Amino acid sequence: MKSKTPRAVVLVAFAVGSLFAGNVSALTVSLMTDTSPVSVVGELRHALQNTTSGGTVDFAPGLAGQVITLAPTNGSLVVSQNLVIDGTNAPGVIIDGAASASVFTVNTPATSVTFRRLTIRNGSATNGGGIYISTPCTVTVSESTIESNQVTSRGGGIYSWMGGRLNVTGSLISNNTSGSQGGGIYTDSDAVLTNTTVTGNGNTTAPIGGGGGLFAAGNLTVTHCTFYNNAAGPAGNGTYIDGIFASLSFHLINTIIDSGRGNKDCYGLGVPALITNVNNLIADGTCSPLLAVPSQVAALADNGGPTQTHALLPTSPCRDAGANASANDPGADGVPGGGDDTALSTDQRGAGFSRLVGGTVDIGAFELRIQPDNLIGRSPSPAAGLGNNLYNTSGAGQTLKLTSKQATTVRATLNVQNDCALTDTFSVRGTKGNSLFNVGYFNSATNVTAAVTTGTYATPALTRGQTSPLSIVVKPNPRKLKKRTRRDGRVVVTWLKRRISLALTSTSQLDATRKDVAKVKVKHL
């Protein structure tokens, strides 16, 4: 006798069953809820339980900027297979632990787990408030924020068990607290930190005040990182290590450690304590740095990229003080100079933010670019202008050519854009007119020609990405004509001079050496 179960029902049952069987290589999180430990299709907990080892868990675009809050009764999100957990498609997605458990727990048999473009916050546990790695495993935290987690013992933000490796790159570890060691990060495993900011972590009441920012019981490599304002133990005690405490081999390169609390910023217990010690700024002089002065960084802010950063101030001694030859990712072996190093192309902020600006890299996770950006076009719209992200004093690539016929007026707009993370004001100087061409410069309806041609015109204070427009009006002088009567009686009018080239130079008030030039060339026919 044939079954009367409809074929469609069988297919649906098989499909749903396969989801729960854990044989799907990629699942997308589409729900903000955390219903139960068993979980529901579309929830993050379900995706972690049902994606095959080696697969990817991503997030629907509709979750951008949204918060997935864990139900306190459901416990930590457990990762027990090799996975990539990727928030790229939902920028700003947040996983909140509701102060009930470690937000994520990495368990056996997982051997390789990646967290990418996530904010992991508000976990609360004994160890590892944000991420608790309880098995020998290679865990990579990339372009992510681990913030506001707390533990009663070790690793407020991240705890990594011995035998594995923790890689943290392009990330922010901030405002995490622990009861003892490692306010930001505690590692029994090897650890490699690159282009990362560790700030505002610690516990001033810790009974064992080692490593307010990072306590490393395994081998440690830190390259182009910023450790700032971390705390361990009472301020001014002198026996606590606010920044980095390293127990074994320690490589420290182009890095800032600046706590400013009267405790020690850095301590290396290994023999030798520092195997690699290249162009670091450590404010109190511990660990024998290149520079032992305050770092002069700005407050933590959105300076572009997926994570917040501490921008360098214009007067920071970290500017152009790094070592170019050592500005590298240490590669798979985690050891600088091990043969598999690759040059860092960006700072912590990622694409669009070069690691090298000028001739020498900066120390720390942030590369300061003080830069006016002249955008020149026919339209007032900055987007329509030539020269975006082109910086030179020759006008190359940012020259607008205009044609006037029969003494008609031509117009252009210069938009001065601030491409620096810091607020800046720019002076603008423009070429004067001459006897053949009248040239005027206008801020809206206000004639500012005198100020522009003498170089005393200044834009308003501009934050990163803001622009200030300046209108340019060029009119051929009709009095400067040459008239000739042809044999047929026609009068032919020609210009004594047919061209003018205007150079518009914008100069930063933060750093007068930083300029950009756009040009307008007018030809009369």
For 425-436, write each residue's pLDDT tens digit: 999 999 999 988
On whether residue 78 sits in a domain, the answer given is yes
| Domain span including residue 81 | 27-95
Average pLDDT, the chain: 92
Q: What pLDDT score was predicted for residue 6? A: 44
CATH code, 386: 2.60.40.10
On whether residue 462 sits in a domain, the answer given is yes
Among 95, 125, 155, identify where a domain stops: 95
On whether residue 257 sits in a domain, the answer given is no
Among 42, 61, 95, identify where a domain stops: 95
Q: What pLDDT score was predicted for residue 273? A: 72
453-481 pLDDT, tens per residue? 999 999 999 999 999 999 999 998 876 66
In whole angstroms, what is the distance from residue 227 CA to residue 365 CA? 9
Band (pLDDT 50/70/90 cuts) for residue 496 is low
Band (pLDDT 50/70/90 cuts) for residue 207 is low
- pTM higher than 0.85, yes or no? yes
Residues 6+ apart with CB under 8 A from 406: none
48-73 pLDDT, tens per residue? 999 999 999 999 999 999 999 999 99
In whole angstroms, what is the distance from residue 223 CA to residue 365 CA? 8
Q: What pLDDT score was predicted for residue 494? A: 67
pLDDT higher than threshold 60 for residue 13: no
Q: Are 29 and 44 in contact (CB under 8 A)?
A: yes
**Percent of the chain with pLDDT strictly greater than 70:** 92
On whether residue 305 sits in a domain, the answer given is no
On whether residue 415 sits in a domain, the answer given is yes
Band (pLDDT 50/70/90 cuts) for residue 8 is very low
Band (pLDDT 50/70/90 cuts) for residue 486 is confident
Band (pLDDT 50/70/90 cuts) for residue 272 is low
Q: What pLDDT score was predicted for residue 497? A: 60
377-433 pLDDT, tens per residue? 999 999 999 999 999 999 999 999 999 987 899 999 999 999 999 999 999 999 999
In whole angstroms, what is the distance from residue 383 CA to residue 373 CA? 12
Nearest C-alpha neighbor of 129 from the set 114, 100, 149, 99:
149
Residues 6+ apart with CB under 8 A from 214: 182, 184, 185, 186, 187, 191, 193, 198, 220, 222, 227, 243, 244, 245
pLDDT higher than threshold 50 for residue 7: no
On whether residue 124 sits in a domain, the answer given is no
On whether residue 180 sits in a domain, the answer given is no
Among 57, 80, 95, identify where a domain stops: 95
Q: What pLDDT score was predicted for residue 76? A: 98
Select the more confidently predicted residue: 327 or 485: 327
Q: What pLDDT score was predicted for residue 484? A: 80
Q: What is the DSSP string of 466-521?
A: -EEEEEEEEEE-TTSEEEEE-TTS-EEEEES--EEEEEEEEEESS-TT-EEEEEEE
pLDDT higher than threshold 80 for residue 198: yes
On whether residue 459 sits in a domain, the answer given is yes
Q: What pLDDT score was predicted for residue 294? A: 98
Nearest C-alpha neighbor of 280 from the set 313, 330, 322:
322
- Read off the pLDDT of each residue in 202-211 and give the average, rounded to a whole number: 74
Our count of domains for the chain comes to 2
